[in-house]
Amino acid sequence: MFQETLRLKLRYILWPYTRVLLALVAGAALFHVALFKALPQYEPPDWLWTFVGPLVGGLLVVLLALWPNFRLIKEKQAGKGSLGQLLAIVALAIFALTWSSGGHYLRAMLSPLQPLPTLAELSRYAPTRYYQVQWLRLDTLHAGNGFRSEITGRNSEHLYFNLFIACPAAPSADSTAAVPAWVGFCYTHEMSSRASPAEKRMALHAFLVTSSHQFNLDNARPCAYLARSPNDNERAGLREAATHSTRYRAAAEPPLILLPVYEPFAQRGRTAGRTFWWSLGIGNGLFLLLLLALPLDEVRRQALLAG
């Protein structure tokens, strides 16, 4: 009985799932490499690239390729759905995480590091994602500042303070040349949205003081290289902060935002790579445990044995 059930699970659930997973990983890798080669500077919105796209794609794969197999799992009582939905949810999470983290990892590893004497020579080179600047000077006297507060959470329980500082890269503080790029710094503080107004004011004041001190430390700290800011809310906040600087001049293109990176360039894809392998390891381990623990639907099991 147990051996027959295990054989059916391996043949009709685990093997199709493994084939789909391998095809998805290979297809995602080819897609991300082709997209990078065709459009090396294309930056999709972060919400689309990291969340919505992988989730929608993973859901379609699960529904079209795997759900008929997952329905072999026994249904819940009173027709409230199949326990196979648990397998579907785990598979969806694995597919979405591997697609997203794999894409971030490949784009990071494929992007070259462009050495520059100064950012003033930026226009002489083809745009890329990473820059190593030999001599970097930031005009902190004319830095632009921006502040945002937002309330998030399922019950609107989290209050976030966000401070954006965009420093023009210039040879001197009195330079009148156009700013080739802005180096951005972002600082965030979280607190309860249910705090009293007095507590919020005190927290905001402390946050601004701490952020100012941290900015001075970050500005004095040499960075390993500069990276283009991804297409997310942080970049929008830094671009808005740049417009508040007296050095800002309106142009057809939005200001180029670069972020300082202090880790060695060889570690640029480390976080995305870890997410990719952790999602595969832990996710597939959980999938196997569920597959072994969940019982098969007896009617469908007998039909498979008879067929």
CB atoms near residue 268 (< 10 Å): 22
Residue 33 CB coordination number (10 Å) = 14
Instruction: Give the global pTM.
Output: 0.84
Residues 57-111 have pLDDT tens digits of: 999 999 999 998 898 888 766 555 668 888 999 999 999 999 999 988 998 999 9
**Cβ atoms of 131 and 116 closer than 8 Å:** yes
Distance CA 139, CA 159 (A): 31
2-12 mean pLDDT: 85
- The arithmetic mean of pLDDT across residues 191-212, rounded, is 95
Q: What single-letter DSSP state applies at residue 169?
A: B
Confidence of residue 298 (pLDDT cuts 50, 70, 90): confident
pLDDT digits 0-9 by tens, 161-201: 999 999 999 765 566 678 999 999 999 999 999 999 999 99
Residue 261 tokens read as: 């990176």
Closest CA to 144 of 7, 287, 11, 241: 241
Mapped onto helix, strand or coil, the DSSP state of residue 225 is strand
Cα gap 229→63, rounded to integer Å: 35
Q: Quick one: pLDDT at residue 208?
A: 96
Q: Which helix (H) or strand (E) holds 287?
A: helix 270-293
CA 160/CA 148 separation, integer angstroms: 8
Q: Look up tokens 């480390």; give the residue.
A: 270
